[in-house]
Amino acid sequence: MLPKHNTRSYRMFWIKSYPQPRTKAMIKFTILGEQRPQGSKISHALYKGGEVVKKKGRAIIITRESCKYLAGWRNQCAEAALAAVCGAGPRPPLIRGPVAMTVHFIRARPKGHYRTGRYSHLLKDASPEYPIVAPDVSKLVRAVEDALKGVIWGDDSQVVNHVASKRYGQRFETEVIISEILPAKEKT
């Protein structure tokens, strides 16, 4: 039987039930620049000469990412990860086991959050503490995961533990920490 919700015993139940995995070999790197989401797609029929192109009586549908800057963002992620992993040496092999990933997306505050005149360096009282605007964290994480496929790990399905956050800062940057998860100790 589960303890009552929001009690100390309830929290301890979940901590004991889901212990944090043991990890090793952390890779840390920072990506400068505005983050781009991945996940939304745009589909349309293929037209040629004003007519819909058909194959075997069906229209040919073209699907693409809705964010036209996604490819550049993914390249930035891959380059930063390669620089962190390789440095000046040879490229190490890809991680083949489970992986834990922590990602902090830091977004530059819009000018509208600041006061004007001689107080332009101060935030307005009504400025939000967290960026509760698009893009959402899950789509940003998806873009980073896919960018690191073939660079850090073989497939993004290896990421079994996520910590992700989105907050305001001085400039657009993304902090990434990747750890390989070790097998659990066997009970004796």
Question: Where residue 71 sits, what CATH number does that domain have?
Answer: 3.30.1330.70
- What's the pLDDT tens digit per position in 7-33? 666 555 555 555 566 767 689 999 999
Task: Show Cβ contacts of residue 29 under 8 Å, excluding neighbours closer than 6 positions.
Answer: 80, 81, 83, 84, 175, 176
- What's the pLDDT tens digit per position in 136-147? 999 999 999 999
Q: For the chain, what is the domain count?
A: 1
Has residue 143 been placed in a domain?
yes
Q: Show the domain range for 165.
A: 22-181
Has residue 110 been placed in a domain?
yes
Name the pTM for this structure.
Answer: 0.76
Residue 55 burial (C-beta neighbours within 10 Å; 0-12, 13-18, 19+): exposed
